[in-house]
Every structure is written in C-alpha cells, then in structure tokens.
Structure 1
Amino acid sequence: VPWNAFFQSKAVWAMIYAHFCGSWGHYTCLSWLPTYFSDELNLNLAEAAWVSVLPPLASVFVTSIAAQFADSLISNGVETTVVRKVCQTIAFLSPAACMILSSLDLGLPPWEIVAILTAGLALSSFALSGLYCTHQDISPEYASILLGITNTVGAVPGIVGVALTGYLLDSTHSWGMSLFAPSIFFYLTGTVVWLVFASSKPQNFSKTD
C-alpha cells in the first residue's frame, strides 16, 4: 500500500479535512439536536423526538436528487472535479447558512427553525455525490483504503465534537456558540479547502510511491 503517496497528495488531504468537517456537523447535531429542540425551542419530549428524525428522513429524498443532479452534469460533459466541488459545496454551505439563520434572534417560531435546520442538514447529503465519490474517482484500486483513512479521521468529531459541544454549552449557556458556531466554522473552512485542493483526476499512487 503506497502510504507515502497518499499523504503527499493534496487531493487526499482535502478529502480528509472535508470528511472531518462534514462529520463534525453531522455527529454534533445527531447527538444534541433533540436537547436543543427541547430546551431552546421548548418542544416537549415527544415532539423533540419526532422532529429529530426529520433531517435523516429528508436526507433520503435529497440523496436521490443529488445523485441524479451529479450524473446529469457529468453526462452533459461537465468535468468530474467540478461536479464534485459543486455537490460538496452545496453539502457544506447549505447547513452552514441554515445554522446561521437558526442561531440569529429573528423571532422565528419553533417549527420554522425546525424546518430550516431540517432542510440544511438534508442538503448535506449532497456530500454523497461530492466527497464520498472522490475516493473512487482518484483511485479505484485504493478507494477502500482511502475511504478508511478519511472515515477514521471523520470519526473523531463523534468523540471530540460531541463532548466539546457539551462543555461549551455548560460554559456559555449558548446553543449558538456551542452547537452551531463550531459546525459553521468547519463547514466554511471545509468549503474553502475543498474548492482549492480537491480533485477527481485519477492518480497513480503506486507509481509515485
């Protein structure tokens, strides 16, 4: 396995960081949104439980749209790298924008905030036509190993991010600062790194190692 070649590739590092950033928003919201709905939006436990399943349900619908969208662009001659960048940018900026709206004091009723967050998190499923296709794009031979590398790094927010959110919530008593701000930061920086360094051009890692 050409480990050295993997870690000398800017495209691989872009995938690693993008996976970390996407996972931060995913895992922290998965863990803390039910509490946010209950404590901040004053939904009862039954309501909070029900609305917490809306983002993953909506993601099922969005995933099929994202796949057809990406396939349509590629079949019409759009470069694969451009398609992956567009899809991943949608996957990052959509939840970031919705989290910004949710964290501002706009006087929105609870169910509108639920709808905004549901839409943003559902649109993050565009990553399945962005980041998650890029491993196969750049190296079909080593795609499984590359996914293993990025997924390992992507698992870190499930431990660190969830705990840090709780710590920040205890310290600041602000959902905007504890849950949304870190996710927004990683979504935005992940977008920049992805647009600058991501590539779907095939790479011969064995030859360069």
Structure 2
Amino acid sequence: MFIRTLYLSEELNLNLTEAAWVSILPPLASIFVTSIASQFADSLISSGVQTTTVRKICQTIAFLSPAACMTLSSVDLGLPHWAVAGILTGGLALSSFALSGLYCTHQDMSPEYASILLGITNTVGAVPGIIGVALTGFLLDSTHSWSISLFIPSIFFYLTGTVVWLAFASSKPQTFSKRD
C-alpha cells in the first residue's frame, strides 16, 4: 500500500490526500470483483468443468489481469493520471479472482488440513512481499524509474506465477493421515 501511494504521489503528481483516496479504490473494487469471481467459479463447476480447471482459470485471471494493467501503466500512452489510476485499480481488483483460484485449492485438496496448507502458502507468499519492498526501493533509488523498479519485476513475477500455477496446480483431494 505504501509503494502504491508513493507511486501515485510521485509519478502521477497526486497530493498525499488524493493518493490515499485513490489507494483505497482497489480494495473497494475487489469487493465487487470477488462476488463476480465466486459466481463465475461456481457456475463453471455446476456446469461440469473440473475443479482444477476452474481454479486454474480463476488464478490465471488473478495473475494476468494485474500484469496486463501494469504493462499498460508502464508504457507512456499519454493517458491522463486518472486513467492510469483506473487501469491499476481494475488490474488489482481483478486479482481478487485468486479467492476462487488459489485460496479455494486448499479446501479442495484437504478440508481437514486446509488451514495448515493456507498457512504454509501464505508464509511462502509473504517472503516475496517482504523482499519486494526492499528491492523496489533499491531499484527506484538506482534507476529513478517506476517502470523498472515496480512494474517490470511485478509483471515478471505475475507471468512466472501463471506458468508455474498452470503447470503444477491441482485441486485433487489429498490424504495426509499417518496411516498412509
């Protein structure tokens, strides 16, 4: 959130109050997108699409939407500041499809151990977030370019995550009992 506010303030020339208000838009838009994503996933499953396929579709939307919007935002198209903020808001809001992708996979795999699986994936997922803030600051100080410091690494990891998710994700039920 801090990096986003800093970007809006420095790059889009919004004052701190305006940047703070614009920063709250993606979470608000996510509320709306989440209801669409859940209904979309449920309708696919109800129509007979395999659960793993549904999870892969939703997570792919969650990864590629922000990547596409960041790509548009990093290219100087001469768009007004509010349009760039709107594109970023849309991309980040569409990342809420992960709630019908990755975050449902734990329950699909093992209802009994879903909380432990979620804890493991959240812990692993937090590491890039911690490192990313420091890396973004270092790259921004070195290059003075938001495209290089924020957008390019983010796009790279979204695309890499998509490839890994599509290659390895599965919602197949697992048993983790001692008897096995």
Shorter-normalised TM range? over 0.9
Contact 1:134 1:200 in 2 (8 A): yes
**How far is the alpha carbon of 1:208 from its aligned partner?**
8.5
User: Match for residue 79 of structure 2?
Assistant: 108
Structure 2 vs 1, CA of residues 207 and 195 (structure 1 numbering), >3 Å: closer, same or farther? Answer: farther
| CA shift in 2, pair 1:166/1:208, >3 Å | farther
TM-score by length of structure 2 reads 0.96
Residue 154 of structure 2 corresponds to which residue in structure 1? Answer: 183
Of 33, 48, 53, the residue aligned with 1:62 is 33
Q: CA deviation at 1:205?
A: 2.8
Work out whether residues 31 and 162 of structure 1, in 8 Å CA contact, stay in contact via their aligned partners in 2: no
Match for 1:134 among 102, 105, 110?
105
Deviation track 1:16-62 (CA, whole Å, cap 9, x = no partner) reads xxxxxxxxxxxxxx231111111111111221111010001000110
**2:22 equivalent in structure 1:** 51
Q: RMSD across aligned C-alpha pairs, in angstroms?
A: 1.2
> Hey, what does 2:47 align to over in structure 1?
76
Segments of 5+ residues of structure 1 without an aligned counterpart are: 1-29
Instruction: Choose the corresponding residue for 1:158, options 119, 123, 129.
Output: 129
Q: Distance in 1 between matches of 2:169 and 2:146?
A: 32
Q: TM-score, normalised by structure 1?
A: 0.83
Deviation at 1:189, TM superposition (A): 0.6
2:95 corresponds to 1:121: no
Runs of at least 5 residues in structure 2 that lack an aligned partner in the other structure: none
Q: Secondary structure at the match of 1:43?
A: coil
1:89 is the counterpart of 2:60: yes
Contact 1:95 1:123 in 2 (8 A): yes
